[in-house]
Copies of this chain bind each other. A is one copy, B any other.
Amino acid sequence: MPRPSLKENVVAAALGQFHRRGYNGSGVKDITDAAGLPKGSFYNYFASKEEMAVEALRRYGAGRELGRLKDPSLPPLARLRAHFVFLAEDIERVGVECGCMFGNFATEIAGLNPVLREAVADGFGRWVEAVTETLREAVAAGELDADRDVDLIARTLVRGWEGSVLHAKVTGELRPEEFFAGVFDPLLGTRTTS
């Protein structure tokens, strides 16, 4: 039976390749090469490239650190801002040209492959739900009027973020301050102070 740590290496290598080169642009051999394993060993871990991509998307989702949106040391809207600052820093760290793996898979493959569409939908769904929950806390804390449609705001924030990251792949610059000034602050009635 293959060692779990080696499977983890393959998932990490898959995430790196898929994030940088897309689903169709990444071959199984690219991934096993990146993991330092023979190509034939791949099927010890996964039944298909598709199954590996589902696992890579899950790991990518875990890297979004949605748990931070529950951090009680910050008020809800400050926490939400910190969440997008964290995502921006993560994208700058990996490379703006790689964008968001959820967004990449959404546009490249979700319309063609139901299994991967489901995996990306799950990633977006958890993310939108975590943002909605933080917005509900903002309402409870009096930071947001109770008549606001927190579900729509959450979807709009996530879509606005994805559009910004998509555009950054073309311009080469993420410019998160434009997301805050153009989307976040007008929607939430906040002001960017830094």
Report the minimum CB–CB distance from A2 to chain B (whole Å).
30
Which positions 52-79 of chain A face chain B at CB distance < 8 Å? none
Report the minimum CB–CB distance from A182 to chain B (whole Å).
3
A117 within 8 Å of B by Cβ? yes
- A interface secondary structure, majority: helix
* Interface 9-residue window, one of A42-50, A96-104, A139-147: A96-104
Task: Give the residues in chain B near A25, CB-CB below 8 Å.
Answer: 24, 108, 112
11 A-B pairs besides A24-B25, A186-B187 with CB distance below 8 A are: A20-B111, A20-B112, A22-B107, A24-B24, A24-B108, A96-B111, A117-B169, A121-B170, A159-B164, A162-B162, A182-B187
Hey, which bits of chain A sit against chain B, CB under 8 A?
20-22, 24-25, 95-99, 103-104, 106-112, 117, 120-121, 124, 149, 152-153, 155-156, 158-164, 166-167, 169-171, 178-179, 181-183, 186-187
